[in-house]
């Protein structure tokens, strides 16, 4: 199989419902917005080999000495200079144009975010003199060019997000034009990009093609939303389900799944008599004799110990039920063990779906860790390493819980991800809440197939927050080494405790 084969070089048939009956629509052979969305809704692809050409980068508005600074034109300094930096700034007669991002080679823009989109956006594809798209930046992030907007375009707790594959074969450039330099001085933005195989057949971004296949886009939207709201596996075809019912005393553990491979766990559902029955559980996973997962169930589900209801594509919480959809392959043997880490008895049912797989096709194993950092001072910057991994692999998610004892925003620090290059991070975001897809320290909770803020609560002088982010469309691949890192920094004086989990696939 050549490098591009895993990117759907053969056409796919996708069932599309409409007008009271189902039709079948074919995804063209090669890499297109449709093939990449098809991969995103198939969690099995995360365990496939990392391509030799795989790479991910981010272009953002944060401080960078190699970029043009307009932030000095802002009326005030906000936070730690996460705004107002651009690749290039060109002054015209009656306007100024700033370059947000520019990428060479075959690739795809997978996520674009802004807290305050302003000006007119131009999207240039493959060196064309005229933009493939030109519209207000806010309309672009609002998906005005898409026949189906939700969940690809959304504003969640003041953050403007676009999760849609923008494919290019040779070159891609995003610019914003405004009347004056000062109009762009406080612009926050992030643009996530991934490389694509050079030998693949590519279908570059084309609004006419998207409109022509609106039914296909609607099908992907429905699949993302319906699966996120369900308490069923994403795909249980050919799977068998095992069920274990138990009551665990404090400190007691029990094996809830064991099987010989090659197989994969494609769904795990926990049902407790109440939410507290699940809040105290830890889940340990062992694939092929190696412990690969050990963390609280609530973090694996992307929520706090309160087990808030939330709907995302890899994990859903509804009442006292938790559905995990991560694809977890193993070649020889797989094992899941639950432990009661609470001070009370926990009664629950664990249902595990597993299916036979081709071992060579899925060499990467699912990992999830647990890290705690306590008594961090909010007025000093701390560099916290959530995960340090030898490759090949790909980061696919992060869940974060914070107990902050401060009267000001605790999340001024940035997310920083290193992928193979030890000299420069591949990703340097613009702030904690920005990474999770919201903005301006918003206390509003939300959920989305790829991200969510599930809890913002006050307990005396404490502010308790829970968030999650899943890199399903914008995965972060590494071939030799990857590090997932966060800065912990606040606006005022106080202390805080962080608890984090990173999910990744690796050997």
CATH 1.10.20 fits 56-229, yes or no: no
Reported as a pLDDT band with limits 50, 70 and 90, residue 64 is: confident
Average pLDDT over residues 453-474: 95
Reported as a pLDDT band with limits 50, 70 and 90, residue 80 is: low
Reported as a pLDDT band with limits 50, 70 and 90, residue 91 is: very high
Average pLDDT over residues 370-380: 96
Inter-residue contact 176 to 59 (CB < 8 Å) = no
Assigned architecture for domain 368-506? Sandwich (2.60)
Inter-residue contact 264 to 329 (CB < 8 Å) = yes
Same fold, 56-229 and 240-364: yes
Question: Domain spans of the chain?
Answer: 3-47, 56-229, 240-364, 368-506
Q: What is the pLDDT of residue 28?
A: 82
Inter-residue contact 174 to 117 (CB < 8 Å) = no
Q: What gap in Å lies between CA 124 and CA 299, rounded to an integer?
A: 40
Q: In the predicted model, is pLDDT for residue 340 greater than 50?
A: yes
Q: What is the pLDDT of residue 24?
A: 52
Q: What gap in Å lies between CA 162 and CA 151, rounded to an integer?
A: 9
Q: What is the pLDDT of residue 231?
A: 97
Q: Residues 476-502: pLDDT tens digits?
A: 999 999 999 999 999 989 999 999 999
Q: What gap in Å lies between CA 296 and CA 468, rounded to an integer?
A: 14
Give me the CATH code for the 240-364 domain, please. Answer: 2.60.120.1390
**Is pTM beyond 0.85 here?**
yes
Specify the 3-state DSSP secondary structure of 200. coil
Q: Residues 229-251: pLDDT tens digits?
A: 999 999 999 999 999 999 999 99
User: What are the residues facing 108 on neighbouring strands?
Assistant: 167, 194
Average pLDDT over residues 192-207: 96
Inter-residue contact 288 to 331 (CB < 8 Å) = yes
Exposed, middle or buried by CB within 10 Å (0-12, 13-18, 19+), for 72? Answer: exposed
Q: What is the pLDDT of residue 12?
A: 56
Average pLDDT, the chain: 93
Specify the 3-state DSSP secondary structure of 105. coil
What residues have CB less than 8 Å from 134, skipping those under 6 apart?
A: 120, 121, 122, 123
In angstroms, the Cα distances linking 128 to 97, 173, 176, 195, 361 are: 17, 10, 17, 20, 38
Q: What gap in Å lies between CA 151 and CA 157, rounded to an integer?
A: 15
Q: Residues 264-292: pLDDT tens digits?
A: 999 999 999 999 999 999 999 999 999 99
Q: What is the pLDDT of residue 9?
A: 40
Q: What is the pLDDT of residue 78?
A: 65
Q: Residues 95-148: pLDDT tens digits?
A: 999 999 999 999 999 999 999 999 999 999 999 999 999 999 999 999 999 999
DSSP class of residue 50 equals P
Count Cβ atoms below 10 Å from residue 469 Cβ, excluding itself: 22
């Amino acid at each position: 199989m050549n490098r591009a084969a895993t990117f759907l070089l053969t056409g796919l048939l996708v069932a599309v419902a409409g007008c009271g009956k189902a039709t079948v629509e074919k995804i063209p052979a090669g890499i297109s917005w449709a093939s990449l969305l098809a991969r995103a809704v198939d969690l099995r692809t995360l365990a496939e080999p990392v391509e030799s050409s795989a790479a991910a980068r981010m272009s953002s508005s944060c401080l960078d000495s190699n970029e043009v600074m307009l932030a000095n034109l802002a009326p005030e300094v906000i936070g730690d200079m996460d705004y107002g930096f651009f690749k290039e700034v060109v002054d015209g007669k009656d306007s100024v144009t700033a370059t947000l991002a520019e990428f060479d080679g075959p690739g795809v823009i997978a996520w674009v975010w802004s807290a305050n989109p302003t000006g007119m956006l131009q999207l240039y594809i493959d060196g064309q003199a005229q933009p493939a798209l030109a519209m207000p930046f806010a309309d672009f992030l609002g998906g005005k060019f898409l026949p189906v907007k939700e969940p690809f375009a959304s504003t969640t707790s003041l953050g403007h997000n676009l999760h849609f594959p923008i494919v290019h074969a040779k070159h891609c450039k995003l610019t914003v034009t405004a009347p004056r330099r000062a109009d762009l001085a406080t612009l926050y933005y992030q643009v996530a990009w991934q490389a694509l195989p050079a030998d693949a057949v590519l279908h570059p971004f084309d609004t006419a093609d998207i409109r022509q296949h609106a039914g296909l886009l609607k099908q992907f939207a429905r699949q993302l939303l319906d699966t996120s709201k369900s308490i069923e596996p994403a795909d249980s075809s050919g799977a068998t389900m095992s069920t274990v019912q138990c009551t665990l005393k404090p400190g007691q553990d029990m094996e809830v799944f064991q099987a010989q491979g090659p197989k994969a766990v494609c769904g795990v559902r926990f049902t407790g008599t109440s939410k507290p029955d699940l809040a105290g559980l830890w889940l340990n996973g062992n694939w092929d004799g190696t412990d690969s997962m050990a963390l609280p169930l609530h973090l694996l589900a992307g929520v706090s110990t309160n087990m808030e209801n939330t709907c995302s594509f890899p994990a859903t919480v509804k009442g006292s039920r938790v559905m995990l959809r991560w694809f977890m392959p193993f070649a020889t043997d797989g094992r899941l063990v639950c432990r009661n880490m609470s001070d009370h008895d926990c009664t629950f049912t664990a249902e595990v779906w597993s299916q036979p797989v081709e071992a060579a096709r899925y060499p990467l194993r699912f990992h999830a860790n647990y890290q705690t950092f306590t008594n961090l001072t909010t007025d000093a910057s701390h560099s916290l390493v959530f995960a340090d991994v030898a490759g090949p692999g790909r980061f696919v998610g992060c869940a974060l819980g914070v107990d902050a004892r401060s009267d000001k925003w605790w999340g001024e620090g940035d997310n920083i991800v290193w992928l193979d290059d030890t000299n420069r991070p591949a990703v340097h975001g613009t702030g904690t809440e920005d990474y999770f897809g919201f903005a301006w320290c918003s206390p509003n909770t939300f959920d989305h197939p790829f991200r969510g803020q599930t809890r913002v609560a006050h307990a005396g002088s404490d502010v308790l927050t829970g968030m999650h982010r899943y890199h399903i469309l914008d995965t972060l691949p590494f071939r030799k080494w990857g590090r997932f890192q966060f800065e912990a920094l606040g606006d005022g004086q106080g202390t805080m405790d962080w608890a984090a989990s990173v999910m990744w696939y690796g050997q």
